Structure 1
Amino acid sequence: MKNILYISSSLAGEQGQSSQMARELIAGRRAAGEQLHIQHRDLHAQPLPHLDEQRFTAFTTAAADRSAEQAAIVAESDALIAELRAADELLIAMPLYNLGVPSTFKAWIDHVARAGETFRYTENGPQGLLHDRKVTVLAARGGQYLGTDMDTQTPYLRHIFGLLGIQQVNFIYAEGLNMGEDQAQQARQRARDAMQAA
């Protein structure tokens, strides 16, 4: 049984294009006989608090010195990190908002990317502390950005997961979804074809 942590953050919930892609991928794998346990974290339905001074201070305070409120903040982050550590694979449904990742997804990153927990600083630079595993990003975009300077998502996701020690970050794109129905249908079909090899 493969444990998959599925993360979605579409403002449209399960009707979002990226969420639909994720459901298709999961259904296709199950139809092919894969035994999957899906842990779904919907960051739109259950958003996490954004990083602020209070949370950052809690993360960086020694455990013995934390107040009860700080301990509760850290416990929430610890639970998210435990989910990440337990996953054999990450499946990320990724919409594009204003040329970046959704702020709810960035909040999740700020909870799981913690020095001393998922990465550490060394004299040679940061070192990831998570074992490598496959990450599949299902990127749904209204326009066409791949291969241009406006695609900030692809390098950011590679870098941030690389910080944690995860190098296997694979992308399946559906671009031009708001550029006419013909373009959208072609983009969805290309994405489905790519899912067959994912």
Structure 2
Amino acid sequence: MTTLLKIQSSLFEDAGQSSVLAQQFVERWQAQHEDARVISRDLATENIPHLDQTRLGALMTSEAERTPEQHEMVAFADKQIAEVQEADVLVLGIPMYNFSIPSVLKAWMDYVARAGVTFQYTAQGPEGLLKGKKAYVFITRGGFYGDDHAQTALVRQYLGFVGITDVEIIHAEGLNIGDETRDKSLAAANDRIAELLAA
């Protein structure tokens, strides 16, 4: 069974433009994959805790020596990784906040990137272990910054680092400039969704 994992990170939850675009993609994708399983995660409402010394210590403690609290912390981290491992397709909704990704998304990324599990170090450099997956990324921005912006580069680099190299990024920019600009940008993003799913 094909599994799709949708991750949204807008503080506006389902009403965020990146969340809306991601959901529109998923709904159209589901219509073509009726037997597929879809897992949805809203990082803004699920209160993903930032990785701190206590949580990192739990991950670095052997299973036999972990306290009950540490076992709970590790189980949470393992769940984030397991969902990505199980997914054949990832859909990410990412707004731009202060020129980068939302902090809740960065927190999620910190849990998913784990040495020996989702990537490994080799003599030739790091190797991602989450191979064979397709990612669709919807990035929304109030202004115009382009595909070569640091935010886009960060997303590509991170996904590639854990082994996800088949990445399609769809930008919807200029959303805060005016109604006409916003509507045109969102329409272009929806046209791109249609193209991707028709391919």
TM-score (norm 1): 0.93
Structure 1 unaligned runs (5+)? none
Alignment of 1:9-158 (within 5 A): 9-31=9-31, 33-35=32-34, 36-147=36-147, 151-158=149-156
Which of structure 1's runs of 4+ aligned residues deviate more than 6 A? none
The amino acid of 1:86's aligned partner reads E
CA RMSD across the alignment: 1.4
Report what 1:174 is aligned to: 172
Distance 1:137 1:130 in 2: 17
Report what 1:164 is aligned to: 162
The amino acid of 1:34's aligned partner reads H
Deviations 1:86-133 (A, max 9, x none): 101000011110011100001111111111111112222211112221
Distance 1:137 1:122 in 2: 28
Count of residue pairs the alignment pairs up: 195
Secondary structure of 2:195's aligned partner = coil
Distance 2:85 2:190 in 1: 28
TM-score (norm 2): 0.92
Report what 1:5 is aligned to: 5
Structure 2 unaligned runs (5+)? none
Deviation for aligned residue 1:147 = 4.1
Secondary structure of 1:80's aligned partner = helix
Task: Note if contact 1:59-1:114 (Cα within 8 Å) is conserved in structure 2.
Answer: no
Secondary structure of 1:91's aligned partner = strand
The amino acid of 1:177's aligned partner reads L
Deviation for aligned residue 1:12 = 0.8
Secondary structure of 2:130's aligned partner = coil
The amino acid of 2:167's aligned partner reads V
Q: Percent identity?
A: 41
